[in-house]
Amino acid sequence: MKHWNIALVPGDGIGPEVVAEGVKVLKKIEELDPSISFSFTEFPWGCQYYLDKGKMMADDGIEQLKEFDAIYLGAVGYPGVPDHISLWDLLLKIRKEFDQYVNIRPIKLLHPELTPLKNKGEKEIDFLVIRENSEGEYAGAGDWLFKGKPEEVVLQTGVFSRKGTERIIRYAYEEARKQKKTLTSISKANALNYSMVFWDEVFNEVGKEYPDVKTYSYLVDAASLYFVLQPERFEIVVTSNLFGDILTDLGAAITGGLGLAAGANINPEREFPSMFEPIHGSAPDIAGKGLANPLAAIWSVSQMMDHFGEPAWGSAILKTMKELLHHKSSLTPDLGGKASTDQLGNEFMKLLSNHAPAKVKSPS
Ligand code: NAD
Ligand code: IPM
Ligand code: MN
């Protein structure tokens, strides 16, 4: 029996609504597969916790999370608490403290009608963005000088260390080699004359060790254009923290929207837990109404199963998603359906056994 201990941080807004459906998937897997079990511990951290206690998480929150095999997070941030506080004291804190320096975000079209792009289908839109997740533009370094004075100056410094840059680029090369895919680096050395010049140099240097990997290098502005007009250019993409953030919302837009976009924050050395989450936020505009699409959160459960060394379950979840996407009436309004978050979730649970791995006898 394999057992995994999962920390749940549902967070704010639609976070708890979508995490509830992801947990149902994990419980269904447990039910269908006698070789797997999970335990769950929920943490009430987020903006309400902040309003009650003046902090986003318990003082020893990071210590508490250390013990888990994975963290499953919903979303963080809500009107009433400044975003730079809520995000830096919870989501970004976990990514940094646990050195989850690899952010894996699949841009994969699961149903032909979900893309707004003309003449592009599942074959053309199928790539992986590997986003640097520990430093760069998100180093949190800067200064605020002469606040409120006419000479006021604000600095926000990008930090690109040799270690941080090399390790993400190497990770991406390894992935490209393993998957026999091309690797595209997205940067901006024409304007960012320190950080991105360095990024490009490291990309080329490390590339010498991977002569078998075909590479491309694009400026981020042109890459944005290609995401929309020629997404088939991309197989594996490696990019910096901020560019990866922006480009993956664009990636979500060409594959069905934020309700379908998942991300894994990985600490490859497994020294600390990795974290799985939808890439969307707390969506205050639809929170509490049963309108949230839980499929992004469910896709991140698929990534969690891959991370646990259970890729057959990871792909079972994706296959179930694909099947469900053909049942328009079972989808949430963002995908043109009328179902609520939990109705979609319940439909998903019914279909999952159809795709259970061969090792599991489907009770159907
Ligand atoms: P958002 O991702 O919350 O919402 C953007 C748009 O997408 C909204 O119209 C929303 O209704 C829609 N949307 C998002 N997820 C959806 C889903 N599952 N189903 C259907 N529609 C969905 O981005 P925002 O409005 O810019 O940010 C809201 C808050 O969330 C802010 O506080 C922001 O800082 C925070 N945020 C957190 C995370 C995170 O925790 N990982 C990510 C992004 C934003
Ligand atoms: C994401 C989010 C976060 C990020 C924010 C909320 C700090 O947008 O996970 O994509 O920029 O990484
Ligand atoms: Mn984002």
What are the structural domains of the chain? 1-106+259-364 (3.40.718.10), 116-254 (3.40.718.10)
**C-beta of residue 354 within 8 angstroms of C-beta of residue 302:** no
What is the chain's mean pLDDT, rounded?
Answer: 97
Q: Tokens 């019914």 — which residue? A: 350
Of 133, 138, 275, 282, best ligand 1 pocket probe by most atoms within 8 Å of the beta carbon: 282
How far apart are alpha carbons 235 and 246 in whole angstroms? 18
**C-beta of residue 267 within 8 angstroms of C-beta of residue 98:** yes
- Find the ligand nearest to 100 CA: 2
How far apart are alpha carbons 129 and 103 in whole angstroms? 8
Question: What is the ipTM metric for this complex?
Answer: 0.99
pLDDT class of 360 with cuts at 50, 70, 90: confident
Of 12, 76, 84, 87, best ligand 2 pocket probe by most atoms within 8 Å of the beta carbon: 87
Q: With a 6 A CB cut-off, is 33 part of the ligand 2 pocket?
A: no
How far apart are alpha carbons 246 and 223 in whole angstroms? 12
Q: Give the model confidence (pLDDT) of 86-125 as tens digits.
A: 999 999 999 999 999 999 999 999 999 999 999 999 999 9
Q: Give the model confidence (pLDDT) of 160-201 as tens digits.
A: 999 999 999 999 999 999 999 999 999 999 999 999 999 999
**C-beta of residue 164 within 8 angstroms of C-beta of residue 136:** yes
Q: Give the model confidence (pLDDT) of 26-44 as tens digits.
A: 999 999 999 999 999 999 9
Predicted confidence at residue 255, as pLDDT, reads 98
**C-beta of residue 335 within 8 angstroms of C-beta of residue 344:** no
- pLDDT value at 364 more than 70: no
Predicted confidence at residue 359, as pLDDT, reads 84
Question: How many CA atoms within 13 Å lie on the side-chain side of 64?
Answer: 14
pTM of the model: 0.98
Q: With a 6 A CB cut-off, is 261 part of the ligand 2 pocket?
A: no
How far apart are alpha carbons 138 and 295 in whole angstroms? 27
Predicted confidence at residue 362, as pLDDT, reads 53
At 102, give phi and psi (nearest 5°). Answer: -110, 120
Centroid of ligand 2 to alpha carbon of 66 (angstroms): 22
- pLDDT value at 144 more than 70: yes
pLDDT class of 363 with cuts at 50, 70, 90: low
DSSP tag of 267: -
Q: With a 6 A CB cut-off, is 245 part of the ligand 2 pocket?
A: yes
How far apart are alpha carbons 347 and 330 in whole angstroms? 7
Helices (H), 208-256: 220-229, 241-253
Q: Give the model confidence (pLDDT) of 290-342 as tens digits.
A: 999 999 999 999 999 999 999 999 999 999 999 999 999 999 999 999 999 99
At 265, give phi and psi (nearest 5°). Answer: -100, 105
**C-beta of residue 121 within 8 angstroms of C-beta of residue 109:** yes
pLDDT class of 361 with cuts at 50, 70, 90: low
Span 46-63, average pLDDT: 98
